[in-house]
Amino acid sequence: MLEGKVVVLGVTGSIAAYKIANLASMLVKQHCEVHVIMTQNATNFINPITFETLTGNKCLVDTFDRNFQFHVAHVSLAQKADVILVAPASANVLGKVAGGIADDMLTTTIMACPGKVMFSPAMNVNMFRNPILQQNLEKLKSFGYEIIDPAVGYLACGDTGAGKMPEPETLMEYILREIACEKDLKGKKILVTAGPTRESIDPVRYITNHSTGKMGYAVARRAMLRGADVTLISGPTQLNDVPFIKRVDIISAQDMFEAVRDNLEGSDFLVKAAAVADYTPSVVSDEKVKKKDGDMVIELRRTQDILGYVAEHKKEGQIICGFSMETQNMLENSRKKLDKKKLDIIVANNLKVKGAGFGTDTNVVTMITAEEEISLEIMSKDDVADAILDQLLHLSRIMSTKKGEPAD
C-alpha cells in the first residue's frame, strides 16, 4: 500500500525506542521508503546500525553529517517526507519543538517539514501528567501537529498509568490513514453494516448464520483510509477493530434495525453487508429449554425489514447498496431484490463459486444497478471493497450531474 511513499521516523531517548525497529520493518514490507533520524540520547537505547540494516538507508544523528546523500539533509528529508512520525517522543523533544528550538537533526527536520508531523509521547506517567508537558502538547496541536495518545499500562520505570507508547501495529495504522490512499471520500459519511445476527432461543442457544463480517469490515476500513467518516454497525465477529471509525455493536436483527434507523439520517452512503436473520423465534424462553423425547418445533416470525424501512425513509441524495448471496439464479434473484428494495446498487455473489462467500479473504461479485451489471474476477475483499466504493462515488456524481450540481 505504501509503494512510492516516504516516511521519516524520529526516534528519541526512551526505552520504547527498540519497538520502532519493528515499525520500520513493517513499513519496508509495504514497499515504503523509510528514513530514520535519531537523537543522540536514542543511540543509548538502540544502535543506528539496526535501522540502517532494516531500511537500507543511513540513519541520521549528526546534523552536520557530510556523508549523507542529500546536500542539506534536514531540508531535503523534510521536503521529501510524506509524513514524519516521532516515536517515541520524549518530553525533551516535545518541549523543544513547541518552543521553536531546532538544535539537532531531528528538530531541524521537523521545523523544516511542510507536511504532516505526528508525535507519539512516551515517558513516565508523572512526566506525562506534568502541566508543562500538557501545555506543550496543546501548543503543538494548535500548530497543526498530531499527537497520538499514549497507552495506559505498566511502564518500564515500574509505575502504571498513561505514558506507554502504543504498539507498532497501532502506529502503523496512523501512518496508513495518513498516506495509504487518496482521500477521494473526504467529506462523505458512510454507514456500513457487517457480520451476522444472533436470534435467541433461550439463555443458552441462538439461531445465526455463517457470516464472519469480513466483507463489511473491509468496506469500512477502505472507506476510512480514503477519508470517509465511517460508522460500522457490527454483529458478533472475531475480527480486529477497524481504527478511526465509530462502531456500534449489536446482537439481534432488531438491534441491527434500530442501529440503522438511528444512524441513517446524515449518511451519504449505506452499505448493508451484514447477514441479518430473516426469522427470529416467536417466543424466547427465560430458562434453558430442557431436552425431551421426540422432536422439537421452534415457531419463527419475520424480522423487521431493514431495507424496506430504508427505502421508505431514504433522503434525497442518499445512495443505498445492498448485498445478495445466492446459490442459484444469482442475477435474476438479485435484480428482483434491487427493484423490490428500491436499491441504487446491489452486490451479488454465489456461495457455490470458489473464492466467494463466508469466511474467505477473497470474493467474486457482480455489481448490479438499474443500468448495468459489472462482473469482477476473484480478488481480495479489500479490492472488492474499493470497487464498491468507486461505484458509489460514480453513482453519486451521476446523481449530482442530473440535479445540476457540480460533481465532487
Q: Give the domain ranges of the chain.
A: 6-179, 189-286+295-402
Assigned fold of 6-179: Rossmann fold (3.40.50)
Residues in the chain: 408
pLDDT of the residue at 60: 92
pLDDT of the residue at 405: 63
pLDDT of the residue at 161: 84
The segments of the chain whose pLDDT lies below 70 read 63-74, 403-408
Task: Give 66: exposed, middle or buried? Use CB within 10 Å, 0-12, 13-18, 19+.
Answer: exposed
Percent of the chain as helix, strand, coil, to the nearest 5: 35, 25, 40
What count of Cα atoms within 13 Å lies in the side-chain half-sphere of residue 268?
20
Identical topology for domains 6-179 and 189-286+295-402: yes
pLDDT of the residue at 68: 55
Is residue 197 a contact partner of residue 274, using CB atoms and an 8 Å limit? yes
pLDDT of the residue at 62: 79
Grid cell, residue 189, equals 459519511
pLDDT of the residue at 155: 80
Strand intervals (E) in 90-142: 116-121
Q: What does residue 200 show for φ and ψ, rounded to 5 degrees? A: -70, 140
pTM for the structure as a whole: 0.92
CATH top-level class for 189-286+295-402? alpha beta
Distance of CA 80 to the CA centre of its chain: 26
Active site residues: 157
Helices (H), 143-213: 168-179
